[in-house]
Structure 1
Amino acid sequence: MPTLVASQLPSSAAPPPRPSWRALAGLTLAVALAHVLLLDLAPTAIGPDPSPLANKFITRTIVIAPPAAEKPAAPAAAPPVAQAKPPPPAKPRRPREPSRPRPVAPPPEPVPQPAPEPQVSEQPPAPPAQTPDLTAQNATDSGAAPPEQAASAPAGAVLGGAGSTANTGVGNGPPGEAAGAANAAAGNVVGPEALRIPGSVKLAFAVTGQQGASPMQGVFGDLVWLQDGSSYDARLSLKFLFRTIRSQHSTGRIGPTGIEPARFSESRKGEVASHFLRDQGQIMFSNNAPSVPLLPGAQDRLSVVMQLGGMLAGDPGRYPAGSRISIQTAGPREAGVWVFNIEGEEQMSVPAGDYAVRKLTRSPRREFDDKIEIWLAPALGYLPVRMKQTQPNGDFADMQLRESLPAGPSS
């Protein structure tokens, strides 16, 4: 039987052709481009990077107790010890007395010989003339002392009446932000009674407003507050669909005076930031604007909301209706003293429900200042349930609470 050579096999039994290397290279390039496109769109769709505190946050409230009252018991015990030491120096004075009579013994003989003794009797009238002058001087000195004490008393009254909480110049002091700045610059600072810094939380807001001729629609806001007991990270974001159109970011630490910012930034088309250089006592800005002195208790435009809530939560009775709170507040380009007027309790309905609230208003001080209104709910630990910002041209953004959620790694 003849054998079939490979070349004689029918064409249908031949192996299928292999794809060319050009086709494989084109397919690989298409897959790579698809991955690059997805990675490029991810930041705008997802939003800003997560906070470094997302994995170590805590949800408990931090209570900052007031500084302990001064106890001068230890220094008071020192003076009596100093008074017990003077008796030993009195002993050496006794041996000096016998030394005095020795020189007195030889001169008695020459003393009776001279006759100028009657002249000595003429000198006594001089001392009585000096004694009234000394009493007159004492009288004038005693009369000058009371006015000095009276002048210092009103100064103490000013410190007490315009005292500040958390080193911010708080109380029923003189009206106006200029007066608040003067008090803060003069060092009129009184320690806080107590603060309650809220635990980590996420607040979701529904946003309405007006921007130019068109109303603001389809915008949502998120305020994420994270803290681990010593440091904090706060971010306020406004989103349209899945895109972040504006955000504010504040980071820093939690200290004896409450929230102490280290950096604040605001992002729209680009990012601008302010830096709190506490070792230098300055606030510096990334846009090369002139730096300003850092006053005690300074906040930024985002942290000030949480600090105000912590102050009212720590001692609500300290802030009755009509009182004011003055705080140096820094933005990304400038800093100034903001004065918040506190109103009484009222009822408010927001998408999250009905709440009793305390309203704080920062009225415009200059021509281009914004009006800031904040409503804090005692039932939520004085967290904000509504925030409204109105610009001089009439544009505004009104954020009303939709829900309060525990913060977590996904926040």
Structure 2
Amino acid sequence: MPTTVAPPSSALAPSPVPWRPSWRALALLILLVALAHMALLGLAPAGLGAEPVSPITKFSTRTIVIAPPVAETPAAAPPPAATAPPAATKPLRPRAVHAPRPKPDPVPAAASPSPDPAPEATAPKDPESPDLVAQAAPDSGAAPTPEPPASAAVAPSATPASAPAAGTGEATTTMAGTQSLRIPGSVTLDFEATGQIGASPQRGVFGELVWLHDGTRYDGRLTLKAVFFTLLNWRSTGQIGLSGLEPERYSESRKAEVASHFARDRGEVVFSNNAPPVPLKPGAQDRMSVMMQLGGLLAASPERYPAGTRIAIQTVGARDADVWVFVVGDEEKLSLPAGEYLARKLTRDPRKPFDRKVELWLAPAYGYLPVRIRQTEPNGDFADAQLRKPLPAASAG
């Protein structure tokens, strides 16, 4: 009997029919997708629980207008139409346009200070243009008056009246058309000095004054030395200009050097020992150059300086600066180691504590070169340098 094989169950099952969504399902799906997009974009209806958000508010850009303070006030918070009448808001617009125009302009702002005059306007403006040095009437024996200010500034338009002498000759300079200086030519002066330091008298001290210039620049040195010590060692370097000698550097040295610098570009004197700078006054000299400057003044115009005349010059040391007032005296006959000399004496008396007294004797027959120099300290110490060798004949006249 033939065997009958049963077909597999899969063969007996009907073939599956593919699923096809109905149009209702598709519409529902599309609606759900649309609602989801609307929710993301903020357009979902209020009934679905989403708070309506204005697309203009969400995606609008912000514009910042930079305006002056006058225009910011009406633009920051415009008043409602119900509370502010239109007539009050319209004038604000042209005011915002015109306000920024004068603001950047500095002229109106500078022209509107208080009507009171500025303090600088009352300052004197060099009314008299006096000579290089201040001088008073001859001394009448009264008590010394306070030291006057240093020499007046030289007018910038002034020009030298003569060309500088070459080599070792004299240099004549006219300052601002008021007076002249006759700077002595290059020379070396030998001195013999006596002195006292404390209770010990000092003898056997010798020194020299070396004066060099080429009509444009100068170099002056004054030294007094003993066998085992140095009484003083001064040096001044600078140029010869419209105001005569114009120092640039002054130094004093014994064991160590201390210097002062004439910072003319800044109008002050600077000290190497870190002392505070001081204002530099016109015509200022140092302790070395002041002797040659005074001699140049008297050599050029001796008639301008009768006995009793006061000459005030700012004199700079290595650590300080002060106005020194020299009183011109009569001619004196000196008996020096170098011989007999006629000399005009100039004296700077101490005017406050710790001032030193300076006495100079300048020889008219030798271009008012110093033939004797004496300095006395407040404690009584002094150094008295007197010409030891005769002056060269070239210095006369």
Q: Does 1:223 align with 2:188?
A: no
Deviations 1:119-141 (A, max 9, x none): xxxxxxxxxxxxxxxxxxxxxxx
Q: In the alignment, what sits opposite 1:322?
A: 308
Give 3-state SS (helix, strand or coil) of 2:335's partner: strand
Greater Rg over alpha carbons, structure: 2
The alignment's TM-score, normalised by the length of structure 2, stands at: 0.57
Provide the C-alpha distance between the structure 2 equivalents of 1:392 and 1:356, rounded to a whole number of angstroms: 29
Q: In the alignment, what sits opposite 1:366?
A: 352
Q: In the alignment, what sits opposite 2:164?
A: none
Deviations 1:226-271 (A, max 9, x none): 0011000011111224875531110000111111000000001111
TM-fit CA distance, 1:289: 0.7
Provide the C-alpha distance between the structure 2 equivalents of 1:245 and 1:391, rounded to a whole number of angstroms: 12
Q: In the alignment, what sits opposite 2:149?
A: 181
Q: In the alignment, what sits opposite 1:396?
A: 382
Q: In the alignment, what sits opposite 1:169?
A: 134
Provide the C-alpha distance between the structure 1 equivalents of 2:192 and 2:221, rounded to a whole number of angstroms: 16
What is the correspondence of 1:55-204 to structure 2 with a 5 Å cutoff? 159=128, 163-164=130-131, 167-172=132-137, 178-181=146-149, 192-204=178-190
Q: Which amino acid aligns with 2:133?
A: T
**Of 237, 260, 263, which residue of structure 1 is paired with 2:223?**
237
Counterpart contact for 1:177–1:326, Cα < 8 Å: no
Provide the C-alpha distance between the structure 2 equivalents of 1:277 and 1:177, rounded to a whole number of angstroms: 30
Provide the C-alpha distance between the structure 1 equivalents of 2:373 and 2:178, rounded to a whole number of angstroms: 25
TM-fit CA distance, 1:216: 0.5
**Of 259, 262, 270, which residue of structure 2 is paired with 1:273?**
259
% identical aligned pairs: 60
Q: Which amino acid aligns with 1:293?
A: P
Q: In the alignment, what sits opposite 2:249?
A: 263
Deviations 1:114-160 (A, max 9, x none): xxxxxxxxxxxxxxxxxxxxxxxxxxxxxxxxxxxxxxxxx97xx48
Deviations 1:338-396 (A, max 9, x none): 00000112211111111111000000011100000000000111000101001111111
Gaps in structure 1 of 5+ consecutive residues: 1-154, 407-411
Counterpart contact for 1:251–1:263, Cα < 8 Å: yes
1:179 and 1:218, CA in 2 relative to 1: closer, same or farther beyond 3 A?
closer
Provide the C-alpha distance between the structure 2 equivalents of 1:314 and 1:227, rounded to a whole number of angstroms: 18
TM-fit CA distance, 1:191: 5.2
Q: In the alignment, what sits opposite 1:150?
A: none
Corresponding pairs, count: 244
Give 3-state SS (helix, strand or coil) of 1:311's partner: helix
Provide the C-alpha distance between the structure 2 equivalents of 1:264 and 1:385, rounded to a whole number of angstroms: 22
What is the correspondence of 1:279-298 to structure 2 with a 5 Å cutoff? 279-298=265-284
Provide the C-alpha distance between the structure 2 equivalents of 1:208 and 1:228, rounded to a whole number of angstroms: 33
Counterpart contact for 1:371–1:391, Cα < 8 Å: yes
Deviations 1:293-321 (A, max 9, x none): 11110000000000000000000000001
Counterpart contact for 1:176–1:339, Cα < 8 Å: no
The alignment's TM-score, normalised by the length of structure 1, stands at: 0.56
Counterpart contact for 2:138–2:308, Cα < 8 Å: no
1:381 and 1:335, CA in 2 relative to 1: closer, same or farther beyond 3 A?
same
Q: Quick one: higher RCO (CA 8 Å, sep 6+), 1 or 2?
A: 1
Q: Does 1:387 align with 2:352?
A: no
Q: In the alignment, what sits opposite 2:363?
A: 377
Gaps in structure 2 of 5+ consecutive residues: 1-125, 156-174, 393-397
